[in-house]
């Protein structure tokens, strides 16, 4: 598959079991947009017959509630490396549907902001 050098936006939404009660998403949990960001780089690898892995670097901004859980400010973008494993439907070289099997999002640096970020704003 091919790599992407830069560009592209993403939004991750869902539910996080904040209170660890292990029941379906309820009023005490975080639901909705969890994080947003921009791709700095990305590479998609075919790892099996219908499975793919997405690796790269992204600038991430966490939702205010999720950022509070981690003790960081939500308005400060940070560089992270995602690795997502998925089952994908590919037709004519294009992804048409995916199902995430698992993955990780590891921070690279918390103090380096992207070049478009206004350093006069909130800092860690």
Query: What is the residue extent of each domain of the chain?
Result: 3-109
Closest of 40, 41, 114 to residue 78, by C-alpha: 114
What are the Cα distances from residue 80, in Å, to 34, 46, 83, 96, 97?
Answer: 15, 22, 10, 26, 24
Confidence of residue 96 (pLDDT cuts 50, 70, 90): low
Q: Output the pLDDT for position 46.
A: 85
- Per-residue pLDDT reduced to its tens digit, 21-46: 887 888 888 899 988 989 888 888 88
Q: Output the pLDDT for position 117.
A: 44
Confidence of residue 79 (pLDDT cuts 50, 70, 90): confident
pTM listed for this prediction: 0.63
User: Is the distance from CB of 86 to CB of 98 less than 8 angstroms?
Assistant: yes
Q: Is residue 74 scored above 80 in pLDDT?
A: no
């Amino acid at each position: 598959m091919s790599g992407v050098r830069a560009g592209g936006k993403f939004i991750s939404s869902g539910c996080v079991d904040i209170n660890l009660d292990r029941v379906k998403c309820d009023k005490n949990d975080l639901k909705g947009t969890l994080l947003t960001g921009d791709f700095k780089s990305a590479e998609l690898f075919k790892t099996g017959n219908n499975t793919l892995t997405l690796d790269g670097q992204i600038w991430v901004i966490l939702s205010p509630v999720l950022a509070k859980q981690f003790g960081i400010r939500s308005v400060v973008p940070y560089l992270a490396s995602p690795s997502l494993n998925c089952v994908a439907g590919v037709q004519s070289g294009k992804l048409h549907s995916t199902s995430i099997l698992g993955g990780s999002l590891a921070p690279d640096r918390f103090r380096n902001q992207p070049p478009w970020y206004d350093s006069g704003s909130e800092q860690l």
